[in-house]
Amino acid sequence: MNPDFPILTLLLFLPLVGGLSVALLWRNPATARFFALLVGLAELALGAWLGSSAPAAGPTGYFLYQDLPWIERFGIRYTLGMDGISLVLVLLTAFITVIAMLLFWQEVKERVALYFALLLATETGILGVFLSLDLFLFYLFWEAMLIPMFFLIGIWGNGRKLYSAVKFFLYTFIGSLLMLVAIIVLYLMHGAQTGSYSFALAELVHTQVPYTTGLWLFAAFLLALGVKFPLVPLHGWLPDAYCDSPSAGTVVLAGILAKTAAYALIRFAYPLLPEAAHAFTPVIYVCAVIGIVYGAWVAFAQTDMKRLVAYSSVSHMGFIALGIAAWSPVALSGAVLQMVNHGITTGALFVMVGMLAERTEDRESLHYGGLWGKVPVLAFFFLFFNMASAGLPGLNNFVGEFLVLVGTFRVAPGAALGAFLGIVLTLVYTVRLVQDILFGTPSQPVSLSDLSLRESATLASLAVIGVYLGVHPAPVLDLIKVPIALLTKA
Amino acid sequence: MTTYLSLMLLIPLFGGVLNALVGRNLPRRLAESLACAAVWGSFVCAVLAALAYHGPEKVVVAQWFQAFDLALPLSLYLDPLSLSLCLMICFVCGLIHLYSVFYMAAEADYARFFALLNLFVFAMLSLVLAENLVLLYLGWEGVGFCSYLLIGFWYTEKENADAGRKAFITTRIGDTALMVALAWLFQLFGTLSITQLNGMGFLLPAGIVTALGLLMLAGAIGKSAQLPLMVWLPDAMAGPTPVSAMIHAATMVTAGVYLLARMYPLIGSSTVTTSAIAIVGGLTAFYGASCALAQRDLKRVLAFSTISQIGYMMLGVGAGAITAATFHLLVHAFFKALLFLGAGCVITAMHHEQDIFRMGGLRRTLPITFWCFLAGAACLAGLPLTGGFFSKDSILTALWMKGTALTQALYFLGLLTALITAFYSFRMVYLVFFGSNAHQQGHHEQSDVLPMELVLIPLALLGLFGGVLDLPGYLGGGFLGSFLGPLSGAHPVEASHTEELALQGVAATLALAGVFAAHVRYGGAARDNRLQESLLKPAPLVAFLLNGWYFDALYRALLIRPYQALSRVLWQQVDEGVINGGIDRLADGVGSTGSWLGRWTTGQVAVYLLSFAAGGALLLGYLAWRSL
Amino acid sequence: MSIPLFHVLILAGILFAMGLACTIAWRANVIMMLIGIEIMLNAVMLTLVGGSAQWGSADGQIFSLMLMALTSSEVSLALAMVVYLHRRKQSVDTDDFTSMKG
Amino acid sequence: MEATLFYILALVTLVGTGFAITARQAVRAIVYLVNSFFALALIFYLLGAPLVAAFEVIIYAGAIMVLFLFVIMMLDLGHPERMKSPRLVDWIPALVLVLVTAASVAVLAMEHHAQPLAAFSGISVRQFSQALFTRYGVAVELVSLQLLFALVGAIYLGRRR
């Protein structure tokens, strides 16, 4: 590979350009679908190729890097970089997008081309967050990914779709504005100290931030990221947005969009403001533990399947927050791994729930029952992903949760103990859902078709990854080892 | 050795996965043979390993995951304890697999059944063989998962699924305590290797050892259905009978005992912990036996007796008599599996009738079952010279010999329990097999039950003569005692021969007394009176025992109801009400403020002009005021 | 010249205030409102011309000329609108025209 | 001399305007205003802006005011009894505003000392035109465009349907 070739830019903008071309095919939905899938697959292939052929990481941990001046007057640069953490998440993003497209191939009947175009545009937005190393660029992508998502929910959603879309947008947007203020303050502070105004992460980490100011800045970051995470008191948008968006949108939202916040916390907020982050750690612990327990508890009360999985997602994200807050190598590895696992598992759960809802147009779990005998393949996958989500050892979630818990227990046993409680509660709602759907006799006759070959194959790929990461997570752990070592030693 | 051990694990795993994935498309015979072959293959490996065995051995098969200093290899450990358990598990499970082929002959969903059975064997073996606590945890959760699905195997009935769920969640509570212990151990030592941890216990202050021990005890309590988490086991009888025999009698439920025995070198140094183990065991033994007295469902009698017998094993561990506990574990596995399988024959013959008060006269129609069942009951009752007698007695002896006030009090509790045990065992035998009953018509053809009955015979022999595994000292000492001897910490005080004989004499007398009492109350003519009584409303005490001391109701009122209610409150009041409602009200407030301000735009030019002028005047006024 | 700029500005200020008062007070008659606007514009022109005199440059005067041109276009449009509206509602009372209500 | 003239003219302007804004008939108001604008034109002349003064007379007092008259006559608004004149209540906000403004101006005025304008002989037409057509050429074009648009707009609004 020619080292000067802007491969990261290609990776980043391939979905967007592809999406725009898809949008041009609006006269012909079938072609648009195929073309969109092709773009998604190409992106995934490119990511995989980068992952497999990645040169050794340099001392900064980045093995691909691109830096061009953009708006020099304000010290804004177009800086992209890929280290192990980014690579893992990029792969996840490309994979989940393809999955979402494949499994909800026919879900949307109107304005198909636009729908797929927006999905691809969201992908670019998310990839941008994972790849940017310039805070301005990061913020740009951070906001940019909201817009296609907003339309996905607002146009193709169901239920109170506009309410949910606006709520989602306002929640995240207001939080982000605070983060923008924090970024600008950092920028000015750094400029005043060194005389060179720059948005580059590598520069800004050297800013000397007074303690109190740092607290305010970190609070702004935390608020913005906490909304998207979501940390518990800020999760109000999530159940509505997850429930009312089209199934593919939900998968993207839960599977990858939520990870951007965790990633930003790891990549930007903590390194930029280490002291303040340390001061805020108890707050994050509390939010995370409350999130784990509260999410699981509220999930138990849900009878709307999608809403149940949505709250379970709150609970699972609590583990990630916990791992980040602990900021120890083991816990952080667990958190990053759990980001991937959560993407796979919760994504798959939303897929399953979405497929059921697509077949029967009913999301009320109490209306189902006895599916085990009727649709064995679907039931098998349903059970599989639910058990993965409940943290059955040997499947992916267990490894992540275990690392997080063990790593956290070392530094904060109290917080970890609260999270342990969550393990029990997780099982309680999972088993309830499984029982409602798979066991018993149906309270009303539901006619269902079992999975098609396309669906089975796609879900099988998810399941294989689930097992693989549960049995042999070493590839991911090796990838993220260097960056995490760098982050936690700094 | 690595080959044997990994094959022992991989064969059932492979069998299970294969059956799970393609079993539905395989011919029935092939799927069944595959499942059986997998377990017996495992057994062969276990035997080969036993033959090649010449001392404790640790084997690293592969790396599982490693993150910085947390390295978790897939390592296995073969020592006398795990070896003897492996042999037992493979053998008993193998027999039960064979039995299931006939028992489940009418079941359409055989692939799922055998897949889960095989997976269970895999999980159980990895639990036992694990050298690494996380691998042990994998097995630990794996057996729980299989048990969950197998209890709810006949999922179309809500009660079965509920029972499975209850089992899974209740044991999860204990599992979580175990996981806390794991995290703590890693924090303390930076390793989770059992062999290393067992060697490092002395480094810790006593308080921490106690806490760790209690956490592990909590794990064991969940898995082994001890007080106060025993409520799931009686309900678990909703599963098919072979499952009850395999999981809820012979293997999985004894995992807690195994864990405590395995970690004894670490946790045994804390008196508080061992006392707690012994107290839990003693109380549970008594609780289970007392409940078994009043049960009407054949399988529930056996379930409560299992709870009670595991209580004995815990007593043994608490007394520091690891050998005795293991001995009882093995023998119990044989005779309890035997009893369950016998019950399965009975139930099949009775067309899934499980109420013992509606049975009777089966000793004539099912003679093989009768004799085998009788052998099992004799073991359970601890009649002299049966395997159960020796194993139970070695526990009681160890308790007595430990000599503290607590253990001697528990000894008497154990004796009382032994008496009750003998009584309810033979109550069961008399009610099921003796007398005559109106429900004689429509028995299965003998040939249906016969292959199942054949499986009982080896188990009956093992149960009856299991005592030779570890004979008491005055008969020349036992094989197991010397075999398990190297386990550190397993050195209870040796009793002299006279003491031992005296103690055994007491136990034997009590057992015989219990059988006699049962005979008086349920044998012969008295049996019919009992049948008449059983049609009446039970007395309060009987109802109390029948319902397992109302623990279920207590938990329902104390835990489950509040949890459900609170979950609804959290959702509707807190989440929808406060968090969401707050945001919505805020949005409404902003909206109404906006529309209120919007009324300013009256559309009248004059108002705009006036506003504009007022603004200008204000600006000007402000400037003037500043310059004042 | 012995006219102080300051007095010119005061005169402009008073004129402006009178125009403003006219515009505000005559809400019942568009014509008088427009007249008020003209008065205010004249006050502005006076300021510009005064400034031009103060600094001896032509710019202020040029702007007042521009202003005049703008005023004439404004007045012509406004009066056309008055005619139009009068045709529709037979009224020149501004309070009768509220179709731009928010 | 010039100063005296200025004050007299200022007085005329103010009185004329005052009558104009309080007149009960629009036609009278126009006439008072024309009077006031004439005085203003003279003030412009005094301030060295002869050209502006001329335009003031031609455009304002001439064209614009006549336009007003036309409209008043066209719409037949000349009858004071048919017109609503402002009530006292309507004058109150205006007076308050004027008072605030006046007070503010007075306050601001207290800091300043009236200084006569520097010696200055006015801007000649040549100077004016040079500046207008060189430096402000674009502005002239823009203004002419605007006049054109106003023309079109007025015709459009005024046409009969």
pLDDT tens digits, one per residue of C18-75: 898 888 888 888 888 899 999 999 999 999 998 888 888 888 889 999 999 999 999 9
- What tokens appear for B448 in the block? 């249906």
Whether residue A1 lies inside any domain: the answer is: no
Q: Do C53 and D102 touch (CB under 8 A)?
A: no
What long-range pairs does B481-486 form, CB within 8 A, spacing at least 24? Answer: B481/B323, B483/B80, B483/B84, B484/B80, B484/B81, B484/B84, B484/B322, B484/B323, B484/B326, B485/B323, B486/B56, B486/B79, B486/B80
Which of B600, B605, B613 has its CB closest to that of C94? B605
Provide the pLDDT confidence category of residue A97 given band limits of 50, 70 and 90: very high
- Tell me if residue B132 falls in helix, strand or coil: strand
Provide the pLDDT confidence category of residue A342 given band limits of 50, 70 and 90: very high
pLDDT beyond 70 at A490: no
Q: What is the 3-state secondary structure (H, E, C) of B320-378?
A: CCHHHHHHHHHHHHHHHHHHHHHHHHHHHHCCCCCEHHHCCCHHHHCHHHHHHHHHHHH
pLDDT beyond 90 at A125: yes
Whether residue A2 lies inside any domain: the answer is: no
Per-residue confidence (pLDDT) for residue A202, from 0 to 100: 86
Q: Do B620 and D101 touch (CB under 8 A)?
A: yes
Residue type, D37: F
Q: Do B610 and D93 touch (CB under 8 A)?
A: yes
Interface of B with D in 582-611 (CB under 8 A): 610
Q: Do B603 and C99 touch (CB under 8 A)?
A: yes
Which of B67, B138, B568 has its CB closest to that of A393? B138
Q: Do B621 and D108 touch (CB under 8 A)?
A: no
Per-residue confidence (pLDDT) for residue B494, from 0 to 100: 65
| 8 Å CB contact between A332 and A401 | no
Q: Do D104 and B613 touch (CB under 8 A)?
A: no
Which of C26, C35, C83 has its CB closest to that of D158? C83
Interface with chain A: mutation pick from B575, B583, B586, B590, highest number of A CBs within 10 Å: B575
Q: Which residue has the tokens 């007595």?
A: B400
pLDDT beyond 90 at A464: yes
Binding partners of C (≥3 Cβ pairs within 8 A): B, D
Chains D and C touch (3+ CB pairs under 8 A): yes
D156 to B405, B620, C84, D145: CA distances (angstroms)? 113, 40, 10, 16
pLDDT beyond 80 at B472: no
- Give the gap in angstroms from C-alpha B248 to the nearest C-alpha of chain A: 20
- Chain B residues within an 8 Å CB radius of C20: 613
Instruction: Supply the DSSP string of C14-68, one letter for each residue.
Output: HHHHHHHHHHHH-TT-HHHHHHHHHHHHHHHHHHHHHHHHHHT-SHHHHHHHHHH
Percent of chain A with pLDDT over 70: 97
Q: How many domains does chain C have?
A: 1
Per-residue confidence (pLDDT) for residue B439, from 0 to 100: 54
B540 CB-near residues (< 8 Å, 6+ apart): none
- Tell me if residue B55 falls in helix, strand or coil: coil
**Which of A36-40, B186-190, B462-466, B597-601 shows the lowest per-residue confidence on average (mean pLDDT)?**
B462-466
Q: Do B142 and A423 touch (CB under 8 A)?
A: no
Q: How many CA atoms lie within 13 A of B516 on its CB side?
A: 6
Domain residues for A414? 7-489
Q: Do A373 and B162 touch (CB under 8 A)?
A: no
pLDDT beyond 70 at D120: no
| Residue in A255, A333, A305, A278 with CA at minimum distance from that of residue A91 | A255
Whether residue A73 lies inside any domain: the answer is: yes
Q: Do B624 and D101 touch (CB under 8 A)?
A: no
- What tokens appear for A175 in the block? 């939080």
Interface with chain B: mutation pick from D97, D99, D111, highest number of B CBs within 10 Å: D97
pLDDT tens digits, one per residue of A189-204: 999 988 888 898 888 8
- Tell me if residue A111 falls in helix, strand or coil: coil
Which of B141, B160, B575 has its CB closest to that of A393? B141
Q: Taking CA atoms, what residue in B is nearest to C25?
A: B606
pLDDT tens digits, one per residue of A148-165: 999 999 999 888 889 999
pLDDT tens digits, one per residue of B554-563: 888 888 888 8
Per-residue confidence (pLDDT) for residue A128, from 0 to 100: 93
pLDDT tens digits, one per residue of B362-391: 777 788 888 888 888 888 888 887 888 888
Per-residue confidence (pLDDT) for residue A322, from 0 to 100: 92
| Residue in A466, A460, A294 with CA at minimum distance from that of residue A377 | A460
Per-residue confidence (pLDDT) for residue D80, from 0 to 100: 64
- Chain C residues within an 8 Å CB radius of D158: 80, 83-84
Domain residues for C64? 5-90
Interface A–B counts its CB contacts (< 8 A) at 145
Q: Do B621 and D93 touch (CB under 8 A)?
A: no
| 8 Å CB contact between A234 and A170 | no
What CATH number is given to the structural domain containing C79?
Answer: 1.10.287.3510
pLDDT tens digits, one per residue of B156-191: 888 888 888 888 988 888 899 999 999 998 888 888
Whether residue A265 lies inside any domain: the answer is: yes
Q: pTM for the full model? A: 0.85
The strand pairing partners of B57, in sequence order, are B78
| 8 Å CB contact between A385 and A305 | no
CA separation for the pair B446, A234 (Å, rounded): 68
- Give the gap in angstroms from C-alpha D91 to the nearest C-alpha of chain B: 12
Residue type, B349: A
- Tell me if residue A125 falls in helix, strand or coil: helix
Report the mean per-residue pLDDT for chain B.
Answer: 84
Whether residue C95 lies inside any domain: the answer is: no
Whether residue A23 lies inside any domain: the answer is: yes
Which of A329, A416, A471 has its CB closest to that of B68? A329
- Chain C residues within an 8 Å CB radius of B600: 102
Q: Which residue has the tokens 């992508």?
A: A141
- What does the radius of gyration of chain C's CA atoms come to, in whole angstroms? 17
Whether residue C100 lies inside any domain: the answer is: no
Whether residue C101 lies inside any domain: the answer is: no
Per-residue confidence (pLDDT) for residue B477, from 0 to 100: 61
- Chain D residues within an 8 Å CB radius of C78: none
pLDDT tens digits, one per residue of A369-427: 778 878 888 888 999 999 999 888 888 899 999 999 999 998 888 888 889 988 889 99
- Tell me if residue B120 falls in helix, strand or coil: helix
Mean local confidence (pLDDT), A83-110: 88
Whether residue C97 lies inside any domain: the answer is: no
Residue type, A423: I
Q: Do B617 and D107 touch (CB under 8 A)?
A: no
Percent of chain B with pLDDT over 90: 8
pLDDT tens digits, one per residue of A236-267: 888 888 888 888 889 998 889 889 999 999 99
Provide the pLDDT confidence category of residue B473 given band limits of 50, 70 and 90: low
- Chain D residues within an 8 Å CB radius of B604: none
Whether residue C98 lies inside any domain: the answer is: no
Q: How many CA atoms lie within 13 A of A232 on its CB side?
A: 27
- What tokens appear for B53 in the block? 């065995």
Chains B and D touch (3+ CB pairs under 8 A): yes
D135 to C53, C55, C58, C59: CA distances (angstroms)? 19, 18, 11, 9
- Chain C residues within an 8 Å CB radius of B606: 24, 27, 94-95
Per-residue confidence (pLDDT) for residue A182, from 0 to 100: 92
Q: Do C58 and D158 touch (CB under 8 A)?
A: no
Provide the pLDDT confidence category of residue A341 given band limits of 50, 70 and 90: very high
Mean local confidence (pLDDT), B223-230: 86
- Chain B residues within an 8 Å CB radius of D97: 613-614, 617
Whether residue A134 lies inside any domain: the answer is: yes
